[in-house]
């Protein structure tokens, strides 16, 4: 049996730095099953200690309210199956903020496990003029105290010595330090005894520390989990014990806080010497600017512009490079294969499919870089603070702002970024509405349609053009729908107790390059492995739908045409052009005859009310893996030449001329606008849906997102077409 | 004691944390309400006897930054309204 040690502590106390100091490079990360809480663990073998150390998410209390805190509580109470039982705790404590940190410490001391206090940020405390009597502190807590400056690796050897002693069993289990009113203590004892009767149903005994949480945290995680398995009988029992525990009118939570802080105040009074006035730190002065009403808002806008610009256009060269690379590899590999199914599968299916995954990497890495830096340096909390009021209008919190903003570039990194949102319900609501932001992939659809169909008229002395205005409206549409959609989700599926926006404002810190790089590497690998394989599969499936049944008759027909042209036309650019034309026609004929084309014909009646014919329908179906595929497919099915995205203006001109089977023009203003509205609101993006699955750990949120957005898109396109047709455009 | 009947009677005239202006201080008398928000405030050290001061408000007037027990907390005004202060502190 591997001995596991848990590394615990409040958020922002430098826990990750301690973890990196202890484990060096020999650690691995993953997720806890069923949740997106990151699991980090590392070996201590290189220090000659036979144990693994698990880095727990930061928590303020064992009273779990978020998935992070639930994992912490579960692991510390040994309630997670397949996890090695935790034999001891290393508690990281911020020396510059001792009193608040001691609250959590007092809870951990009641778990009956050996504890080491890693008193970190000694340098920050010293700068604040705080003097700590380490021996007295160790005596008061009843556990060894090791002073540390983890970010420069100072004190790590002493910490390792204590850890070795703990693993060898030389540190006795910690003892509780807080005295609670007798009625509360008695009620906890009684409840612990009561729960013994459910031992067989539960398959485990409920330790006293857990019973304490069940009793004190009304409607909390510990209670809810017990009641879910044990039912009403258990719920009644808990309620009865809770009444016994009550003393006076104050809630049990208030009693707990009062006693724990009484102890924390006592300990700090005995062991700490504080300066009479808290000195103004550099961090405070920085905050005077960065959270200032005017200056702070300006700085915020500047930082957001920088983030947005870099994921929007900064990633472009890298994305073009990926595309060029895919094209080059495709041509190189394709040249070695005989034409036919195998070549098409390898070039269009496999290489194209890999490309459709890798093309997201630059944006994901860039955004992750910014978020890692903003989070590590402490600005993320300020951004949430500045934006909270605006986001609260649609029931979200300030933490949703940066993920949502990122979605204007691409929803894939944006949805990954929702991990910064602490509240689970807020996070899921944000994920559900995030794809409504107009991402850069939609821009291509917008530009082609606008260039083809919207006349270029200028108003107000040429400042505002009709084309630009249409583009603007397409972007606004997504934002306008997001507010109400988020509001509705927060009041229906994510209804519940209002979530607290009570956060700590950590002091600013220099981000650690090592931890930033590590985060980037993890993000990139996670995306490629977890979402990439699925995105790739969908790309191959859609390729197959568009390729098969690949009729031989069509092939022969065009071979004949080719032979004729070769025979009758003199060699030269004229003939090359004619041959190219035949290629386009053949590709179009195959696509029209493919399963995809047949599917398009089948669903045509559904799309007819918005003025679309089966060819547009086919292109829409083909664009399920990614929106930008719509334009390329449309070009192929209409026999139009379309080399790459930069050729969109030529394409736009040709689209205007395309006719329907009844001789009418296929594209008019209402049809163009309905396509724009459809793409503004739909979720035609397999990558987004797979990332939602990855981030929520459940398929149903992907399905819900796709269904509600497609419904909105359909209705929106329908209303647009019918409305503008009525207006006589 | 915290929350005794006479306290409750006076509660109407009491100041709460959201009514303080920037730079003003107070001492917490009690945190009203129940559930997650009350518990989070208590855990973060906003409980009876703690000294609190308002550091700043966000550009749109809400949320606010409060200093308590040596650390800075952000909270919405609606949350600060749950924190009753001792009179005349």
More confidently predicted of A189 and B70: A189
Residue written as token pair 């005894």: A193
pLDDT score of A645: 56
Percentage with pLDDT > 70 across chain A: 96
Among A198, A229, A246, which residue terminates a domain?
A246
pLDDT score of B9: 44
Among A143, A167, A191, which residue terminates a domain?
A167
| Cα A517 to Cα A371, A376, A503, A522, distances in angstroms | 12, 12, 26, 9
Are A25 and A69 part of one and the same domain? Answer: yes
When CB atoms are compared, the residue of A217, A293, A388 closest to B39 is A217
pLDDT score of B6: 43
Strand (E) or helix (H) holding A256: helix A252-271
As given in the structure block, the two tokens for residue A612 are: 């679309």
Are A158 and A213 part of one and the same domain? Answer: no
Contact flag A501-B75 (C-beta cutoff 8 Å): yes
> Would A149 be classed as within a structural domain?
yes
Domain B5-85 has CATH 2.30.30.90: yes
A697 Rama sector, left if φ>0, alpha if ψ -120 to 50, beta otherwise: left
> Would A28 be classed as within a structural domain?
yes
Which is nearest to A185 in space by CA: A245, A257, A253?
A245
Q: Does the pLDDT value for residue B36 go beyond 60?
A: yes
- Residue B45 near chain A (CB below 8 Å): yes
Mean pLDDT for the stretch of residues A77-98: 86
Q: How many CA atoms lie within 13 A of A220 on its CB side?
A: 28
> Would A31 be classed as within a structural domain?
yes
Q: Decide if the complex's ipTM is over 0.95.
A: no
Q: How many CA atoms lie within 13 A of A89 on its CB side?
A: 28
- Choose the mutation target among A68, A216, A501, A502 for the interface with B, i.e. most B CBs under 10 Å: A502
CA–CA gap between residue A470 and residue A476 (Å, rounded): 10
Q: What CATH number corresponds to the domain at position A106?
A: 3.40.50.300
DSSP single-letter state for residue A114: -
Q: Does the pLDDT value for residue A378 go beyond 70?
A: yes
pLDDT score of A217: 92
> Would A554 be classed as within a structural domain?
no
Chain A residues with CB inside 8 Å of B47's CB? 254, 257-258, 261
pLDDT score of A36: 62
Structural domain including A27 reads 4-167
Do residues A398 and A349 make contact, with C-beta atoms less than 8 angstroms apart?
Answer: no
> Would A595 be classed as within a structural domain?
no
pLDDT score of A722: 93
Q: Where are the domains of chain B?
A: 5-85
Are A107 and A58 part of one and the same domain? Answer: yes
Are A145 and A54 part of one and the same domain? Answer: yes
> Would A683 be classed as within a structural domain?
no
pLDDT score of A623: 87
Write the DSSP assignment of A475-503 as a string of letters.
Answer: HHHHHHHHHHHHHHHHHTTT-SSPPP--E
Among A113, A143, A167, which residue terminates a domain?
A167
- pLDDT classification of A642: cutoffs 50, 70, 90: low
pLDDT, chain A, mean:
86
| Phi and psi at residue A292, to the nearest 5° | -70, 150
| B25: closest CA of chain A, how far (Å) | 14
pLDDT score of A25: 67
Burial of A262 (0-12, 13-18, 19+ CB in 10 A): middle
Least confident window among A186-190, A573-577, A687-691: A573-577
Write the DSSP assignment of A414-479 as a string of letters.
Answer: HHHGGGG--SHHHHHHHHHHGGGS--HHHHHHHHHHHHHHS---EETTTTEEHHHHHHHHHHHHHH
- Residue A228 near chain B (CB below 8 Å): no
Cα angle for residues A90, A424, A528 (degrees, 5° grid): 80
pLDDT score of A668: 86
CA–CA gap between residue A352 and residue A344 (Å, rounded): 10
Are A186 and A163 part of one and the same domain? Answer: no
Are A32 and A144 part of one and the same domain? Answer: yes
Sign of CA dihedral A298, A372, A516, A440: negative
pLDDT score of A186: 94
DSSP single-letter state for residue A613: -
Are A71 and A209 part of one and the same domain? Answer: no
Which is nearest to A697 in space by CA: A3, A10, A38?
A38
Cα angle for residues A653, A656, A662 (degrees, 5° grid): 155
CA–CA gap between residue A398 and residue A12 (Å, rounded): 19
Do residues A99 and B45 make contact, with C-beta atoms less than 8 angstroms apart?
Answer: yes
Report the domain count for chain A.
2
**Number of residues in chain B:** 89
Chain A residues with CB inside 8 Å of B59's CB? 293-294, 296-297, 386
- Residue B58 near chain A (CB below 8 Å): yes
Q: Does the pLDDT value for residue A113 go beyond 90?
A: yes
């Amino acid at each position: 049996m591997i001995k596991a040690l848990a590394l615990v502590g409040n958020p922002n106390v430098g826990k990750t730095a301690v973890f990196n100091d202890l484990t060096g490079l020999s650690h691995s990360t993953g997720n806890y099953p069923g949740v997106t809480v990151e699991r980090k663990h590392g070996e201590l073998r290189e220090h000659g200690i036979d144990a693994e150390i698990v880095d727990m998410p930061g928590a303020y209390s064992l009273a779990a309210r978020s998935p992070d805190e639930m994992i912490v509580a579960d692991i510390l109470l040994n309630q997670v199956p397949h996890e090695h039982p935790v034999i001891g705790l290393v508690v990281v404590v911020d020396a510059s903020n001792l009193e608040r940190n001691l609250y959590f410490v007092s809870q951990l001391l009641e778990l009956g496990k050996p504890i080491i206090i890693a008193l970190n940020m000694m340098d920050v405390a010293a700068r604040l003029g705080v003097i700590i009597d380490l021996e007295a502190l160790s005596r008061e807590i009843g556990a060894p105290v090791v002073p540390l400056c983890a970010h420069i690796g100072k004190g790590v050897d002493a910490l390792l010595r204590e850890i070795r002693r703990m693993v060898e069993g030389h540190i006795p289990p910690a003892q509780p330090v807080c005295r609670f009113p007798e009625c509360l203590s008695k009620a906890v004892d009684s409840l612990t005894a009561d729960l013994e009767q459910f031992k067989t149903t539960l398959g485990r005994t409920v330790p006293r520390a857990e019973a304490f949480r069940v009793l004190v945290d009304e409607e909390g995680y510990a209670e809810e989990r017990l009641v879910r398995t044990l039912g009403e009988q258990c719920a009644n029992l808990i309620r009865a014990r809770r009444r016994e525990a009550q003393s006076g009118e104050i809630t049990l939570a208030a009693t707990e806080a009062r006693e724990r802080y009484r102890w924390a105040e006592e300990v700090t009074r005995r062991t700490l010497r504080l300066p009479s006035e808290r000195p103004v730190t550099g961090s405070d002065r920085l905050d005077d600017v960065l959270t200032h009403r005017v200056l702070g808002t300006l700085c915020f806008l500047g930082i957001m512009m920088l983030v947005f610009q870099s994921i929007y256009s900064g990633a472009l060269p890298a994305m073009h490079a990926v595309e060029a690379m895919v094209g080059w590899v495709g041509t190189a590999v394709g040249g070695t294969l005989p034409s036919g199914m195998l070549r098409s599968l390898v070039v269009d299916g496999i290489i194209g499919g890999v490309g459709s995954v890798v093309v997201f990497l630059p944006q994901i890495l860039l955004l992750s870089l910014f978020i890692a830096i903003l989070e590590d340096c402490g600005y993320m909390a300020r951004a949430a603070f500045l934006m909270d009021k605006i986001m609260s209008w649609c029931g979200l919190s300030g933490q949703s702002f940066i993920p949502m903003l990122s979605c204007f570039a691409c929803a894939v990194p944006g949805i990954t970024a929702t991990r910064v949102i602490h509240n689970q319900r807020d996070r899921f609501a944000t994920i559900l509405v995030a794809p409504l932001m107009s991402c850069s992939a939609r821009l291509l659809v917008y530009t082609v349609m606008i260039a083809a169909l919207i006349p270029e008229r200028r108003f107000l002395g040429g400042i505002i053009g009709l084309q630009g205005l249409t583009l603007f409206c397409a972007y606004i549409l997504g934002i306008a729908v997001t507010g109400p959609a988020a509001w509705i989700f927060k009041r229906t599926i994510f209804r519940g107790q209002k979530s607290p926006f009570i956060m700590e404002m950590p002091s600013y810190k220099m981000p650690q390059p090592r931890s930033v790089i590590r985060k980037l590497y993890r993000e990139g690998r996670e995306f490629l492995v977890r979402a990439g394989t699925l995105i790739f599969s969908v790309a191959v499936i859609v390729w197959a739908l568009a390729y098969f049944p690949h009729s031989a008759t069509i092939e022969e027909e065009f071979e004949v045409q080719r032979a004729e042209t070769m025979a009758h036309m003199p060699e030269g650019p004229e003939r090359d052009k004619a041959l190219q034309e035949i290629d386009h026609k053949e590709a179009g004929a195959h696509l029209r005859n493919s399963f995809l084309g047949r599917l398009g014909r089948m669903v045509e009646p559904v799309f007819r009310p918005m003025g679309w014919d089966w060819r547009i329908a086919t292109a829409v179906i083909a664009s399920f893996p990614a929106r930008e595929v719509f334009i390329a497919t449309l070009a192929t099915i209409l026999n139009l030449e379309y080399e790459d995205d930069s050729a969109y203006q030529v394409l736009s001109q040709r689209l205007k001329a395309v006719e329907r089977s009844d001789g009418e023009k296929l594209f008019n203003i209402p049809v163009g606008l309905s396509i724009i509205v459809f793409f503004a609101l739909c979720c035609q993006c397999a990558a987004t849906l797979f990332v939602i699955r990855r981030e929520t750990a459940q398929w149903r949120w992907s399905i819900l997102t796709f269904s509600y957005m497609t419904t909105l898109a359909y209705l929106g396109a329908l209303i647009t077409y019918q409305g503008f047709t009525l207006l006589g455009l | 004691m915290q929350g005794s009947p006479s306290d409750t009677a006076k509660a109407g005239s009491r100041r709460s944390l959201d009514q303080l202006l920037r730079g003003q201080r107070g001492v917490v008398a009690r945190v009203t309400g129940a559930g997650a928000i009350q518990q989070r405030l208590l855990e973060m050290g906003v409980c009876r006897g703690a000294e609190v001061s308002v550091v700043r408000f966000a550009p749109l007037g809400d949320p606010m930054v409060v200093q308590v027990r040596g650390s800075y907390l952000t909270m919405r005004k609606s949350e600060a309204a749950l924190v009753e202060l001792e009179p005349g502190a």
